[in-house]
């Protein structure tokens, strides 16, 4: 039985490659492909491991036109992966159609006096020991109120955004907004938000991306 560490599900197959000491290959999993590494055990959670996974997913995204990044720690047998994909086939297909040809832009609203340093891994770390703990923290954050400035951000780019998700922040981050944007529209998106004034509560915003669509894939693992 082949054991795989899953970095992402993809809409197609690419040539295997090596990155940061990891050999990435693409295997068929029911109706889609998975970008994986063959490992004997799940890697330990660490900031370095999270950063490495992020970099590998970015590289995978450059090789395919549709990608659904997996959460950190997605370690399964090939047979189990195929079963999971089969059970969620419709949701996965819909998600791949949504993200195809698009990238994620991330907007963070900072309270007054905060340093607007964008970190693409901030939402993945948050002190969570496992992927499940991270997802639970995100669900809890999502039900909290987000600043009114989020509505202004949404209105400024609504005609060039295919999908949006937002969540309340922690600490200096008042809120985070995730937008799915066509690759060709990234420049226009940045220009729109570059002219945005500070929020009513003197918040400042930071725009980062384009990134793979980390916030727009269906949850696969319970």
Mean pLDDT along residues 182-198: 88
> Is residue 74 pLDDT above 70, yes or no?
yes
Q: Which of 169, 187, 215, 166 is closest to 57 using CA atoms?
A: 215
Percent pLDDT > 70 in the chain is 79
Mean pLDDT along residues 75-103: 93
User: Which tokens hold the place of 140?
Assistant: 């809890």
Tell me the whole-structure pTM to 2 decimals.
0.79
> Is residue 146 pLDDT above 80, yes or no?
no
Confidence of residue 138 (pLDDT cuts 50, 70, 90): low
> Is residue 36 pLDDT above 90, yes or no?
yes
pLDDT of residue 170: 77
pLDDT of residue 197: 63
DSSP assigned state of 184: G
Mean pLDDT along residues 96-100: 96
CB count within 10 Å of CB 49 equals: 13
> Is residue 122 pLDDT above 60, yes or no?
no
Find the largest Cα–Cα distance for the chain: 57
* Cα(93)–Cα(124) distance, integer angstroms: 24
Contact indicator for 60, 5 with CB cutoff of 8 Å = no
* Cα(132)–Cα(120) distance, integer angstroms: 19
> Is residue 123 pLDDT above 80, yes or no?
no
Mean pLDDT along residues 142-146: 49
> Is residue 35 pLDDT above 60, yes or no?
yes
pLDDT of residue 30: 85
According to DSSP H, which parts of 66-211 are helical? 78-87, 89-99, 122-125, 131-142, 149-157, 186-194
């Amino acid at each position: 039985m082949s054991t795989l560490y899953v970095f992402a599900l993809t809409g197609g197959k690419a040539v295997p490659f090596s990155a940061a000491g990891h050999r990435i290959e693409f295997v068929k999993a029911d109706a889609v492909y998975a970008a994986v590494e063959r490992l004997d055990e799940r890697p330990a959670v660490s900031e370095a491991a999270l950063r490495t996974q992020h970099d590998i997913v970015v590289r995978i995204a450059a090789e395919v036109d549709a990608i659904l990044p997996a959460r950190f720690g997605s370690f399964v047998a090939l047979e189990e992966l195929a079963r999971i994909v089969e059970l969620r086939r419709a949701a996965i297909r819909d998600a791949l159609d949504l993200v195809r040809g698009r990238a994620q832009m991330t907007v963070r609203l900072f309270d007054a006096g905060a340093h607007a340093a964008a970190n693409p891994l901030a939402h993945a770390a948050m002190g969570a020991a496992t992927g499940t703990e991270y997802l639970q923290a995100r669900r809890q954050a999502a039900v909290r109120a987000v600043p009114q400035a989020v509505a202004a951000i949404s209105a400024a780019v609504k005609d060039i955004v295919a999908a949006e998700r937002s969540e309340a922040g922690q600490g200096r981050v008042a809120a985070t907004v995730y937008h799915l944007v066509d690759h060709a529209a990234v420049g226009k998106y940045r220009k729109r938000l570059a002219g945005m004034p500070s929020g009513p509560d003197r918040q400042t915003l930071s725009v980062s991306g384009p990134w793979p669509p980390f916030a727009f894939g269906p949850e696969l693992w319970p």
